[in-house]
């Protein structure tokens, strides 16, 4: 249904986001909300993760949290000042807060989320919040069209008879236009 990207040697925001998109496809195939995340440090890949809330039975199964955790374990420090997080959807309040707490250097995301995105989407921007002690630059819209299409297809299927594995029909609308 959706094709994976082939990336030989990632060197741009779009290349790194393609890896996150491929992880989102893995989440889609597993019946999870199709969001993927990648963390790099000085052009070196540290983590590639996908959503796993259903599989793990925990709200903490968001791919951004898993990526932050793996990257910190690899570099041996919870401070990720010189790292960049790529996510196929704008991080939620929990994941945006984790970006602040991890001192992430930069966040790049594909699709904004007007209801739950806390890097500007829902009117709250944790990356610039004056009450916090850490700020970071954000770039949005990188590889937005295919990431949005994947999310839309997932939620269309979720509401139809073509339910992805592990999901029940849910008629409630979301912020991706479906």
- 169 CB neighbour count, 10 Å cutoff: 10
For residue 33, CA distances in Å to 80, 100, 111 come to 26, 23, 13
Q: Is 162 a catalytic residue?
A: no
Q: Write down the catalytic residue from 3, 64, 144, 149.
A: 64
Which are the catalytic amino acids? 64
């Amino acid at each position: 249904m959706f094709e994976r990207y082939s990336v030989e040697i990632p060197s741009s925001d779009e290349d790194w986001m393609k890896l996150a998109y491929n992880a989102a496809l893995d989440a889609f195939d597993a019946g999870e909300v199709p969001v993927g995340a990648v963390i790099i440090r000085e052009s070196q890949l540290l983590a590639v993760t996908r959503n796993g809330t259903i599989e793990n039975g925990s709200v903490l199964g968001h791919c951004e949290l898993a990526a932050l955790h793996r990257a910190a374990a690899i570099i041996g420090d919870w401070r990720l000042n010189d790292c960049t997080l790529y996510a196929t959807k704008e991080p939620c309040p929990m994941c945006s807060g984790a970006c602040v707490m991890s001192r992430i250097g930069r966040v790049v995301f594909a699709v904004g989320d007007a209801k739950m995105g806390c890097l500007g989407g829902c009117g709250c921007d944790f990356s610039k919040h004056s009450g916090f002690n850490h700020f970071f630059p954000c770039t949005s819209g990188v590889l937005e069209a295919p990431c949005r299409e994947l999310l839309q297809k997932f939620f269309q299927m979720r509401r139809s008879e073509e339910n992805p594995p592990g999901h029940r029909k849910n008629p409630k609308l979301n912020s991706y236009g479906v």
